[in-house]
Amino acid sequence: MTLFDLSLNEIHNRLHAGDLSVTDLVNQAFQTINERDEQIQAYLTLDEEGALRQAKAMDERLSSGGERGLLFGLPVGVKDNMVTEGLRTTCASQFLRNYDPIYDATAVEKLRTADSVIVGKLNMDEFAMGGSNENSSFKPVRNPWNLDYVPGGSSGGSAAAVAAGEAYFTLGSDTGGSIRQPASYCGVVGLKPTYGLVSRYGLVAFASSLDQIGPITKNVEDSAYVMQAIAGYDAKDSTSAKVDIPDYISSLTGDVKGLKIAVPSEYIGEGVDPAIKDAIMSSLQVLEGLGAEWEEVSLPYTEYAVATYYILASSEASSNLARFDGVRYGVRADKPANLLELYHRSRSEGFGPEVKRRIMLGTYALSSGYYDAYYLKAQKVRTLIKQDFDNVFAKYDVIIGPAAPTTAFKLGSQVDDPLTMYLNDILTIPVSLAGVPAISVPCGFVEGMPVGMQIIGKAFDEQTVLRVAHAFEQHTDFHKQRPQL
């Protein structure tokens, strides 16, 4: 048992009693990283000196009776597509291998305000494009439950670090499932908030109408604490929503009596591993035993979600990544003959194959003569997908299904088959297109690998999502199981 197996409240009580110091917690993080990360490869950049310096200052404040933030003393890792002042931010791309930001992303700033300690930046698929973390230009991340398997992506480093005990919690980003799918594969809790609830300022953009920052934690209660710290309006983000932030922590009542659950037939039908379906059905029985009711429903436009997503996300990526030109920041081609060669060589040398593939797909979809046939049509289908959710939520409180159609797959088994890789996100993408919140919580194991249950809620109703997830967690022990490294 490590210090990170303690609950947040237990840690804070021990800190207050003087039985534990912030330096102890930070040392625990780096000790585990030193022991395990050569295998896991979750981190790209570490800041041991800065973290210990911050821990020492916090210990002095603790001894003098100073104020403590909500996440006081907790060592955290941040996905490497969120800028961190003075701490290298690469997006796991050769293009940004030398980029040291001069400011913090708003979510990172809020973590610092809540008194957490950032220990390092986490590996990911390059520019958040991928579902296995094999698209990192530095090194692939491995799943702590079986090192021959992927951790999921693009927030694979964020999920693997929590599963391996290398951080108390982490931040990930979710565009089409990049928090929930790796959380499912690694047996941890991953929450994608409602679009606009957490500021995107300082998050390196992939697809601006879909990207959202969220927590990856070892249990639901920790997820509620992190959301309490990072949610809220930000004037620096034009997509930030002006909504009241409720008390997420007090919503964890364990009461789901009378709750109405919808189970989409498309989420438990063809293409979903029968063993995954069995785990979801068993989980529904747990909730049913707590007084909830469930019925099977249909989300008919689900079958179009993957095609819609990859047109829209790639189109936005082709626009967002145009800023990486070798002129302003990032790598620059050596001794180009002219400006066009500077652009061409910088982008050819800086971007990996998956990023190039999506830029080309998006540029094609936005080009003259194809815009109406592809991009505009995809926007219309996105509206239909959102209406699917609206229709179900008119009658039900939450929607439940698997977070992924299978458990984690072997490293290298799908890397040469982009279409199969894209289909791994078929159960998370519709949620992202609709902009509603969803959480993945551990709900079983298949052949030793974790299974995640996805709980989807109404827009800005994270309270209900967290309440249902917490109630399920209190009557199961899947979240307590740890990989044997």
Active site residues: 79, 154, 178
What's the rounded Cα separation, in Å, for the pair 360 and 373? 16
* Residue position matching structure tokens 């009580």: 13
| CA gap 319, 104 in Å, rounded | 23
- Phi and psi of 283, rounded to 5°? -70, -40
What phi and psi, each to the nearest 5 degrees, are found at residue 169? -155, 170
Distance separating alpha carbons of residues 317 and 333, to the nearest angstrom: 22
d(C-alpha 467, C-alpha 256), whole Å: 8
Which burial class, exposed, middle or buried, applies to 250 when counting CB atoms under 10 A from its CB (0-12, 13-18, 19+)?
A: exposed
- C-alpha span between 237 and 347 (Å, rounded): 27
